[in-house]
Amino acid sequence: MQVMLVAVRGPAPARLTGMSASGPGEQRRQRLRDARLYLVSGVPGSPPDPGRLPDLVRAAAAGGVEIFQLREKRYGDEQLTAVAHAVRALLIVNDRPEVALEAGAAGVHVGQDDMAVAEVRELVGPDMLVGLSTHTPGEIDDADPALVDYIGVGPVHETPTKAGRPAVGTGLVRYAAQHARVPFFAIGGIDASNLAEVTEAGAERVVVLRAIADAADPERAASELSGLLAGTRGR
């Protein structure tokens, strides 16, 4: 099973100039709209171990993960590209659009303090997916469907992967469910024990890291989350 960036059902992003209805960009966006469960990595621990990534991705995909993003800022560009080539499922690259292009990824994800999304879109063209992190109602409102394909909303709970960033709680998830103009997914400290909180707030899709990557059985952990999310379809 191949995993790619796809993370939310919701209003379709605006079609960009030059994109055909049957081209790779539209196919990626359809998969984006259909997906529910998104895994983000670096592998926990120090130093990072890229050798673990293929096994983790295969197990997560078998359990129902539909998206995989490599978020490991400690890798150099060459190492990051090599890992992306080794694991075909690593189709979303965090923060480095040039590496995403070099690796043949399906998309790139940036934060509010990274390269501006207009610059990212100009660099990667119309067929690559572009994701954006959001942490406030204003940032959700400002996400332009002509440039951004999806947004992350969080962190819902405090998480060591975003040390120092305060939790936004489920209130921002509710705001996104009502106001987001592109597909959104909740992120930040989400696992099987608290997933119901975010789905009740209106999220149909989530991003996880430790809930799968730290699990003794990543495939089983992914399968449990995927099963819980299945009940949100068409809600």
pLDDT of residue 89: 54
Q: What is the pLDDT of residues 219-235, one digit of tens each?
A: 999 999 999 999 776 55
Assigned token pair, 86: 């080794």
Q: 172: Cβ–Cβ under 8 A, 6 or more apart, which residues?
A: 135, 136, 137, 140, 153, 154, 156
User: Which pLDDT band holds residue 19 (cuts at 50, 70, 90)?
Assistant: very low
pLDDT of residue 189: 95
Residue pair 131/5 in contact (Cβ under 8 Å)? The answer is yes
pLDDT of residue 7: 35
CA-CA distance, 192 to 178, in Å (whole number)? 24
Pick the most confident of 37-51, 157-171, 201-215: 201-215
Q: Which of 70-79, 90-99, 218-227 has the lowest mean pLDDT?
A: 70-79
pLDDT of residue 3: 46
Name the active-site residue from 52, 71, 88, 220. 71
Q: What is the pLDDT of residues 50-74, one digit of tens each?
A: 667 778 888 888 999 988 888 776 7
Q: Residues 24-230: name the CATH superfamily.
A: Aldolase class I (3.20.20.70)
- Cβ-count burial 204-230 (b if 16+ within 10 Å, e if not): bbbbbbbbbbebeebbebbbbbbebbe
Higher pLDDT, 74 or 90: 74
Instruction: Identify whether 73 is a catalytic site residue.
Output: no
CA 36 to chain CA mean position, Å: 10
Q: Which of 4-13, 57-66, 102-111 has the lowest mean pLDDT?
A: 4-13
Name the active-site residue from 15, 58, 88, 162. 162
Instruction: Identify whether 74 is a catalytic site residue.
Output: no
pLDDT of residue 119: 97
Name the active-site residue from 29, 41, 96, 133. 133
Instruction: Identify whether 22 is a catalytic site residue.
Output: no
Higher pLDDT, 129 or 24: 129
Per-chain mean pLDDT for the chain: 83
Residue pair 175/163 in contact (Cβ under 8 Å)? The answer is no
Higher pLDDT, 41 or 19: 41
pLDDT of residue 5: 39
pLDDT of residue 56: 85
* Longest CA span, the chain: 46
pTM confidence score: 0.84
